[in-house]
Amino acid sequence: MPLPLDGTFTYALPEAFAQKVKEGCRLTVPFGAKKRYSAIVSRIHDQRPEGYEVKEALELLDDAPILLPGQLRLWQWIADYYLSSVGMVYKAALPSGLKEEDEQTSYRPKMNSYVQLTDAYAQQQALMDVFVELKRSPKQAALLMKYIEVSKVVASINLGNPSLKLEVEKGELLKAADAHSSILQALVERGILEIYEKQVLRLEHDEIPTQVLLRPLSPAQQQAFDAILAAFQQQNICLLHGVTSSGKTEVYIHLIQQTIERGKQVLYLLPEIVLTTQLVNRLKRVFGGRLGVYHSKYSDAERVEVWQKQLSQEPYDIIVGVRSSVFLPFQRLGLVIVDEEHEQSFKQQDPTPRYHGRNVALVLAQMSGAKTLLGTATPSLETYYNCQVGKYALVELFERYQQVTLPHIEVVNLAEQRRRKLMSGPFSDPLVVAIREALSQGEQVILFQNRRGYSPNVECHQCGWVPRCPHCDVSLTHHKRLNQMTCHYCGYTIPIALKCPNCEGMQLDSIGFGTERIEDVIRRLFPEARVARMDLDTTRSRSSYEKILSDFQHGKTDILVGTQMVTKGLDFERVSVVGILNADTMLNMPDFRAYEHAFQMMEQVAGRAGRSGKQGRVVLQTKTPVLPVVDMVARHDYLSLYQTQMEERQAFRYPPLTRLIYVYMKHRYESVLNGLAYDMSATLRAVFGDRVLGPDTPPIARIQNLYIRKIVLKIELAAPIPEVRARLRQVAQYYASQPQFKSATVYFDVDPV
């Protein structure tokens, strides 16, 4: 059932369709007093359960299963591992068109009417004779002539085809003939033509570019390719650690080709925001109609069609998709590619199941007997550790395509620049100089600031008052163009204050720089430059996102300002300068992975510079140039990052050397929440001892009127995880049954990122 419930229910099958039901089909079933749901048949049996009255299923929704046998097993794995429930996995897995029995939202195939000759007239002689018969009906004769023309009957006769059953779309025929449908109807009544309905796939509407041949691999790429294939002889999982612009995508393309030639399918998994038209087109040029795309920004109907195609006799050989594509049915999966495997956005945050797309992909591959290739320039510590201990094979590709050198990174000390009064707003002197040089040579610039809006804070000049969200523990972000202040956690929005409600002061200062403000400043500094901004606010729709990228790619903009969206997998030829405006916001994150993530983000955005031909240049601005991690970014030194971080993780017992489970608790009233948090942490300590930390108040302690507490569980790798999970479920159930805590929300985040 698509409900947050574990386990299955038994229903009786009525005579009418009892014989037709198969495991993996959907049934409409009654539930509770009035509700009905579409449930999935997991097992057909003949044992009447005891203790409750068995209700009858109402309707069979599918002639054939919509799930393949292995899929329920994967659902169960996810539900168990992530402390969720199969019902919630069901909700996450199916596109809504397949899970609602509501008429409004359920999937309706798109049908079209077509016209063809009936059997009796689908031969040359009969067709010639019919025109004699139609002598007195010139309009019908004209329409039939048009059919012959549009359907290319003559060409078919010339090719010697015995049957002339050629289909023409009804609307198209009527339009070409400029005829009324009653005339067509007359021909149907005479038994000459027939009309029938057929499903058209929405997906096949986008044109598929012509196929091109694979581009030959460079010697370094060929070596990596061979090494990956060799690794797959011994092991199931391999990491391709390839620097930015080394041509990892090219290596993937050759592996995909090799896999589909063997008659196997490929799943190519990408983080949401990397899945651009740029990449899809690159793949479609090679694989054409054998490639399907599965994306949350596609309509639900399109996703239903991809799902059904994967169940059909002719599934796509290749699926490119975001994390939810691990739920698609695959009949003969041979290879899974997880690109940018280090990306945190593979993890689903809300709602449950809080699964990690990469890790579920690994399990899916294992269940399907497929191989997995993880690829990135900046591996997650988890993955690199697994290579070190021999669980995964490691293949390295440290040469950029055409041997372009990695960008030169110049670290600029913000404190010193400020002291010497060299700053123009958020821009240091070296960055301004670099931008000017790039523009004068017709080159492009990317500016990275990990904050959207105009300024993260507004402050009264006189008394220091800061506008805050009434529902969350955060200050409001100023959005200048909209003249608003907005909470980035709940969306609460008010007009920008004109004076301080506290002291009536009229001067309100904007503190700090978001992308919107960076854009303003850069326009003032370089009035002749064409500037675009890419962040959540400018990319609400797929089309606006694509437009910003394509304008930049075609040189219609010179400077692209953006949040982390500009750091991901984009390939532009003319970018020579990248500015990282404030490394400290990343380095100071209150998280044990702050340095790892900061390194990854900076190395990735730096990698956008100098991708073809010439060495790029990166200006990295920071108040803390002395931090070793800054130097590691400057030297592109992943290995040192890995080693130093692993020492810390070892010392403080953090992943990948332990497993983490976070327990979150939320409640309207802080006092109730505190009671629950302390009670629960004591209960957990009784079971897990000093593996329990907290309760903690997270940095943002209240969101949408709910206070939040967090308990951390650090579990050694060798611990019996199923037992740990069982105990945690027990504890959660116990608190859910306590009257004073029933109104609280408790949930788990397993392997948080």
- Contact residues toward Zn ion (CB under 5 A) are 460, 462-463, 465, 469, 471-472, 487, 489-490, 492, 500, 502-503, 505
Report in angstroms how near the CB of residue 570 gets to ligand ADP at its nearest. Answer: 9
Q: Which does residue 31 touch among Zn ion, ligand ADP, none (CB within 5 to 8 A, set by kind)?
A: none
Report in angstroms how near the CB of residue 502 gets to Zn ion at its nearest. Answer: 4
List the 493-495 sheet strands across, edge first.
477-479, 484-486, 493-495
- Name the DSSP class of 246: S
| C-beta closer to ligand ADP: residue 298 or 401 | 401
Q: Which does residue 150 touch among Zn ion, ligand ADP, none (CB within 5 to 8 A, set by kind)?
A: none
Q: Which does residue 217 touch among ligand ADP, Zn ion, none (CB within 5 to 8 A, set by kind)?
A: ligand ADP
Stretch in the footprint of ligand ADP (CB under 6 A) among 239-247, 647-655, 731-739, 741-749: 239-247
| C-beta closer to Zn ion: residue 472 or 680 | 472
Kindly write out the interface string for residues 376-405 of this chain, putting x where it contacts ligand ADP by CB under 6 A and - elsewhere: -------------------------x----
Report in angstroms how near the CB of residue 242 gets to ligand ADP at its nearest. Answer: 5
Please identify which residue in 151, 245, 383, 515 interacts with ligand ADP, judged by CB under 6 A.
245
Report in angstroms how near the CB of residue 68 gets to ligand ADP at its nearest. Answer: 32
Report in angstroms how near the CB of residue 708 gets to Zn ion at its nearest. Answer: 13
- Name the DSSP class of 348: -
Beta-carbon contacts of residue 376 (< 8 Å; ≥ 6 apart):
239, 240, 241, 242, 339, 340, 341, 342, 383
Integer Cα distance of 400 and 377 in angstroms: 11
Please identify which residue in 84, 116, 244, 417 interacts with ligand ADP, judged by CB under 6 A.
244
Integer Cα distance of 393 and 391 in angstroms: 7
Q: Report the site for ligand ADP in 557-586 (rule: CB under 6 A).
A: 571
Q: Where are the alpha helices (DSSP H) in 617-698?
A: 628-634, 638-651, 670-688
Report in angstroms how near the CB of residue 578 gets to ligand ADP at its nearest. Answer: 14
Kindly write out the interface string for residues 702-741 of this chain, putting x where it contacts ligand ADP by CB under 6 A and - elsewhere: ----------------------------------------
| C-beta closer to ligand ADP: residue 429 or 571 | 571
Report in angstroms how near the CB of residue 606 gets to ligand ADP at its nearest. Answer: 12
Beta-carbon contacts of residue 107 (< 8 Å; ≥ 6 apart):
95, 97, 98, 300, 301, 304
Can you tell me which residue has the tokens 């004591």?
Answer: 682
Q: Is 333 left (phi over 0), alpha (psi -120 to 50) or beta?
A: beta
Q: Which does residue 645 touch among ligand ADP, Zn ion, none (CB within 5 to 8 A, set by kind)?
A: none
Report in angstroms how near the CB of residue 292 gets to ligand ADP at its nearest. Answer: 21
Which residues, listed in sequence order, are joined to residue 618 by a DSSP beta bridge? 409, 578
Quickly count: other Cβ atoms within 10 Å of residue 405's Cβ: 11
Q: Which does residue 1 touch among Zn ion, ligand ADP, none (CB within 5 to 8 A, set by kind)?
A: none
Kindly write out the interface string for residues 344-383 of this chain, putting x where it contacts ligand ADP by CB under 6 A and - elsewhere: ----------------------------------------
Q: Report the site for ligand ADP in 248-267 (rule: CB under 6 A).
A: 248-250
Q: Which does residue 503 touch among Zn ion, ligand ADP, none (CB within 5 to 8 A, set by kind)?
A: Zn ion
Q: Which does residue 218 touch among Zn ion, ligand ADP, none (CB within 5 to 8 A, set by kind)?
A: ligand ADP
| C-beta closer to Zn ion: residue 423 or 490 | 490
Q: Is the Cβ–Cβ distance between 260 and 396 less than 8 Å?
A: no
Report in angstroms how near the CB of residue 318 gets to ligand ADP at its nearest. Answer: 16
Integer Cα distance of 706 and 703 in angstroms: 5
Q: Which does residue 471 touch among ligand ADP, Zn ion, none (CB within 5 to 8 A, set by kind)?
A: Zn ion
Q: Which does residue 18 touch among ligand ADP, Zn ion, none (CB within 5 to 8 A, set by kind)?
A: none
Report in angstroms how near the CB of residue 464 gets to Zn ion at its nearest. Answer: 7
Report in angstroms how near the CB of residue 504 gets to Zn ion at its nearest. Answer: 7
Report in angstroms how near the CB of residue 65 gets to ligand ADP at its nearest. Answer: 38
Q: Which does residue 17 touch among ligand ADP, Zn ion, none (CB within 5 to 8 A, set by kind)?
A: none
Report in angstroms how near the CB of residue 244 gets to ligand ADP at its nearest. Answer: 5
Q: Long-range contacts: 214-217, Cβ < 8 Å, 24+?
A: 214/253, 214/254, 214/257, 214/286, 215/250, 217/247, 217/250, 217/251, 217/254
Kindly write out the interface string for residues 593-622 of this chain, putting x where it contacts ligand ADP by CB under 6 A and - elsewhere: ------------------x-----------
Query: Comparing C-alpha atoms, which of 40, 78, 76 is closest to residue 57?
Result: 40
Q: Which does residue 379 touch among ligand ADP, Zn ion, none (CB within 5 to 8 A, set by kind)?
A: none
Integer Cα distance of 597 and 656 in angstroms: 14
| C-beta closer to ligand ADP: residue 217 or 602 | 217
| C-beta closer to Zn ion: residue 471 or 729 | 471
Beta-carbon contacts of residue 311 (< 8 Å; ≥ 6 apart):
64, 65, 66, 68, 329, 331
SS3 label, residue 504: coil
Q: How many residues bind ligand ADP (CB under 6 A)?
A: 15
Q: Report the site for ligand ADP in 429-458 (rule: CB under 6 A).
A: none
Kindly write out the interface string for residues 196-235 of this chain, putting x where it contacts ligand ADP by CB under 6 A and - elsewhere: -------------------x-xx--x--------------
Report in angstroms how near the CB of residue 261 gets to ligand ADP at its nearest. Answer: 19
Integer Cα distance of 349 and 753 in angstroms: 9
| C-beta closer to ligand ADP: residue 116 or 246 | 246
Q: Is the Cβ–Cβ distance between 621 and 428 less than 8 Å?
A: yes
Quickly count: other Cβ atoms within 10 Å of residue 212's Cβ: 9
Q: How many residues does the chain have?
A: 753
The pairing of strands 493-495 and 477-479 is unpaired
Please identify which residue in 2, 87, 97, 242 interacts with ligand ADP, judged by CB under 6 A.
242
Please identify which residue in 116, 151, 246, 604 interacts with ligand ADP, judged by CB under 6 A.
246
Output Rg (C-alpha) for the chain, integer angstroms: 31
Write out the two tokens for 308: 């059904």
- Give Cα separations from 261 to 70, 266, 336 (angstroms): 24, 11, 15
Beta-carbon contacts of residue 12 (< 8 Å; ≥ 6 apart):
54, 55, 56, 57
Query: Comparing C-alpha atoms, which of 609, 627, 632 is closest to residue 619?
Result: 609
| C-beta closer to Zn ion: residue 395 or 508 | 508
Report in angstroms how near the CB of residue 401 gets to ligand ADP at its nearest. Answer: 4
Q: Write phi, then psi, for 230 (nearest 5 degrees).
A: -65, -40
Query: Comparing C-alpha atoms, which of 671, 723, 674 is closest to residue 696?
Result: 674
Query: Comparing C-alpha atoms, which of 127, 200, 130, 128 is closest to residue 170?
Result: 200
- Give Cα separations from 298 to 207, 302, 354, 536 (angstroms): 16, 6, 22, 18
Residue ranges binding ligand ADP (CB under 6 A)? 215, 217-218, 221, 242, 244-250, 401, 571, 611
